């Protein structure tokens, strides 16, 4: 498989899942600042020009964090990355979708790319401030969901990979994590696979 990724981005979560499953893959770095995501070759693979993209062994491409994570879990059931019962699976997807769609898509997106939300540079500070509010509110919500997630999904599931990358961002943005999220982040950092992925991506 070919995995199109950007170190330190949301693709870190998928990278963790691939390494957890010990799957062989080629890593292709996509530099967003350099415009790699807009290059014709990449657009031909992923017309959305987004990351991550996973090109499977049959040559078909999967895009979007949630779909890639779900496919990895469903095609490798023995790894227990997703509960087999409907309630457990639903709750895992609920947390993962909220993390990717709201904390990332609405919160951190405003912090990292205010120009996508306001063309007037004078408004960028306000956009970023709103982003931080969304992120802090989002973590507070997820914090209440983590105990139940552990009951339903065990020690590690695909939602944990998603939550980790936004917790990682929070640390680099000076955003404090609530207690359950802080404990989750520390547990994730202690996992050998996560430590290895961060080293491979140039972080410590």
pLDDT at residue 204 is higher than 90 = no
Grade residue 17 by pLDDT with cuts at 50, 70 and 90.
Answer: very high
Query: What φ, ψ does residue 202 adopt, rounded to 5°?
Result: 90, 20
Rounded to the nearest 10°, the torsion over CA 131, 5, 184, 81 is 130
Q: What is the pLDDT of residues 130-161, one digit of tens each?
A: 999 999 999 999 999 999 999 999 999 999 99
Residue 74: the pLDDT is: 98
Find, among 146, 196, 136, the residue nearest to 166 by Cα.
Answer: 136
Q: What is the pLDDT of residues 56-69, one digit of tens each?
A: 999 999 999 999 99
pLDDT at residue 203 is higher than 90 = yes
CB 166 within 8 A of CB 104: yes
Residue 79: the pLDDT is: 97
CB 16 within 8 A of CB 193: yes
Between CA 21 and CA 107 the distance in angstroms is 30
Per DSSP, what are the bridge partners of residue 5?
29
CB 136 within 8 A of CB 175: yes
Q: What is the pLDDT of residues 21-65, one digit of tens each?
A: 999 999 999 999 999 999 999 999 999 999 999 999 999 999 999
Residue 123, both tokens: 């408004």
């Amino acid at each position: 498989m070919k995995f199109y990724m950007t170190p330190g981005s949301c693709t870190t979560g998928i990278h963790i899942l691939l390494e957890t499953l010990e799957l062989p893959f080629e890593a292709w770095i996509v530099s967003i600042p350099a415009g790699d995501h807009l290059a014709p070759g990449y657009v031909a693979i992923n017309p959305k020009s987004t990351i991550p993209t996973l090109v499977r062994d049959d040559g078909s491409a999967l895009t979007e964090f949630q779909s890639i994570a779900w496919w990895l879990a469903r095609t490798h059931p023995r790894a227990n990355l997703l509960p087999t019962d409907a309630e457990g699976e639903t709750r895992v997807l609920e947390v993962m979708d909220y993390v990717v769609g709201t904390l990332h898509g609405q919160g951190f997106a405003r912090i990292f790319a205010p120009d996508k939300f306001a063309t007037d540079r004078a408004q960028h500070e306000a956009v970023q401030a709103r982003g931080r509010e969304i992120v802090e509110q989002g973590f507070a919500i997820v914090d209440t969901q983590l105990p139940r997630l552990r009951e339903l999904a065990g020690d590690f599931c695909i939602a944990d990979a998603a939550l980790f990358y936004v917790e990682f961002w929070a640390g680099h943005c000076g955003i404090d994590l609530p207690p359950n999220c802080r404990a989750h982040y520390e547990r994730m950092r202690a996992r050998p696979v996560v430590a290895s992925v961060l080293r491979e991506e140039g972080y410590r």
